[in-house]
Amino acid sequence: MSVEWAGRSPELLVRLDRARPLRVQLESALREAIRSGRLSPGERLPSSRAMAARLGVSRGLVQEAFDQLKAEGYLTARTGSATRVAAPAAPPAAPAARPEPPAPPLLADFRTGVPDLASFPRADWAWAQREAARTARTADLGYGDPRGARELREVLAGYLRRVRGAAADPGDLVICGGFAQGLILALRAAGVRRVAFEDPGYDAELLEAAAWLGVEAVPVPVDEEGIDVEALLASGADAAVLTPAHQWPTGVVLSPARRRALAATDLLLVEDDYDAEFRYDRDPVGVLQGLAADRVLLMGTVSKSLAPAVRLGWILCPPAMTGAVARQKAIVDRGSPHLDQLALAALLHSGRYDRHLRRMRTLYAARRAALVAALALHAPQVRLSGLAAGFHAVAHLPAHLSEEAVIAAARDRGVALYGLSTHHSNSTATPPLLVLGFGNLPEHLIHEAIALIAPLLR
């Protein structure tokens, strides 16, 4: 895309050596700028008068250079219009290749971890950004505290105390760019060398992040009560990453007995509170951090509640670790975008954030009900679990089916499915399970997609 300059004369860096012919130098400089892409097709050049004044040469010299480059096809101009870089000549047509058959259009994508992107509160976010720009102090426009905007940390601490039962102090919150960055900051700050992850659990990208840090990742099995604490202690890990309120991806809740057992250990625990805002037929589950605030780093983001594009999250640190985590944040990027933090604080202060969450809970509950009803009607032999919270569920397929074959056949019918085996450390597909994300799918598409693939699930 070419630049459309707002002023009368755009800037263009050209250097001339007075010991050599000036017109030749100017032509060469412009020609090279166009060839190298420094000047793009359609981009406007300074006027001959402005360029002559800037270079300290005669206007006639500049006009002669422009005329030469027009003759060569590098520049173009019309009467009364600026001189612009000419569009390149079209390359010779390549021989026609045999077209590959197009992939069938996708009717529905049950991808997990994606909220309803169409429901992002654009008007509220635009209001919050205007409010942030209007009320920001001059000091807010500098780098500031690497922990983040004081206004956001204060309102977040109150929110986490009220809604999640956390032991939250604003001074111990560090604002970050999402869970992945928060995890990297925490592992670096603690000097972790061996970290345990739930199995099944996180995608390869987060395990690669641990490997990038030089941290060994070890899988620890999960059962119907959550992570196996005895296996965790036997793993030799000095830290563990957990999803106790709604285990990812199975959806089980860490049992009270295992919560107490974890709180009694001396392990550093990273608690990913990734979808706590959305619960349906079960009372909210408080955070593990409330039981062991001296050893649990509580992490959350707005990727599920608002949208991943906002790129804001937080780390509630044990008091003894806050300084180290903040130092890591300062090294990485000197702090997350301050004005966006003020905008999020405005959303929380105003009650617009809570209003959005109430609306989204109703929306996701309806989509959850649509998934349950569609499977009950078209594939009653498929059992669902993990439905108490969030916007994904686990579908238990008949034992004789192949997870991989069902996914491939569904894709041929225009429905994207995803297996739970990809979240296992050994990629086991026995028993065959699907992880169905319904957050970004309207109810009618959920019904249509399940009806379409139902013969594959029998």
What CATH number does the domain located at 108-114+360-457 have?
3.90.1150.10
Cβ-contact 107, 351 below 8 angstroms:
no
Cβ-contact 425, 199 below 8 angstroms:
yes
DSSP labels, 77-101: --TTS--EEPPPPPPPPPPPPPPPP
22-85 and 108-114+360-457 agree in CATH topology: no
DSSP state of 458: -
Contacts of 87 (CB under 8 A, 6+ apart): 41, 42, 76
- Strand 216-223 with 194-199, pairing: parallel
Q: Which of 365, 346, 343, 347 lies closest to 356, judged by CA? A: 347
Q: Return the H-helix or E-strand segment holding 395.
A: strand 392-396
Neighbours of 161 (CB within 10 A): 14
Phi, psi dihedral angles at 345 (to 5 degrees): -60, -40
Q: Which CATH number fits domain 22-85: 3.50.30.30, 1.10.10.10, 2.40.50.660, 1.10.357.10?
A: 1.10.10.10
DSSP state of 290: G
Whole-angstrom distance between the N-terminal and C-terminal Cα of the chain? Answer: 52
The CA angle 121-127-130, to the nearest 5 degrees, is 140
For the chain, the helix, strand and coil percentages under 3-state DSSP, each to the nearest 5: 45, 15, 45
Per-residue pLDDT of the chain (458 residues; tens, 9 = 90+): 444 444 455 667 788 888 788 888 888 888 988 888 888 888 888 888 888 888 888 999 988 988 898 888 899 887 767 888 898 766 666 666 677 666 668 999 999 999 999 999 999 999 999 999 999 999 999 999 999 999 999 999 999 999 999 999 999 999 999 999 999 999 999 999 999 999 999 777 778 888 888 999 999 999 999 999 999 999 999 999 999 999 999 999 999 999 999 989 999 999 999 887 888 766 678 899 999 999 999 999 999 999 999 999 999 999 999 999 999 999 999 999 999 999 999 999 999 999 999 999 999 999 999 999 999 999 999 999 998 888 999 999 999 999 999 999 999 999 999 999 999 988 887 899 999 999 999 999 999 999 999 999 98
Alpha carbon distance 83, 46 (integer Å) = 8
Alpha carbon separation from 7 to 39, 379, 419 (Å, rounded): 17, 65, 55
Strand order in the sheet with 392-396: 383-385, 392-396, 433-437
**To 10 degrees, what angle do helices 122-135 and 338-350 make?**
110
Alpha carbon distance 385, 224 (integer Å) = 11
Alpha carbon distance 436, 256 (integer Å) = 27
Residue type, 354: D
Q: Where are the domains of the chain?
A: 22-85, 108-114+360-457, 120-354
CATH architecture of 120-354: 3-Layer(aba) Sandwich (3.40)
DSSP state of 113: S
Phi, psi dihedral angles at 120 (to 5 degrees): -55, 130
What pTM did the predictor assign? 0.83
Alpha carbon separation from 369 to 108, 281, 345, 362, 446 (Å, rounded): 17, 11, 33, 11, 10
Alpha carbon distance 275, 115 (integer Å) = 10
Query: What are all long-range contacts of 148-154, with beta carbons under 8 Å and residues at least 24 apart?
Result: 148/173, 148/174, 148/175, 148/314, 148/335, 148/336, 148/338, 148/341, 149/175, 149/338, 149/341, 149/342, 149/345, 151/341, 151/342, 151/345, 151/349, 152/341, 152/342, 152/344, 152/345, 152/348, 153/314, 154/345
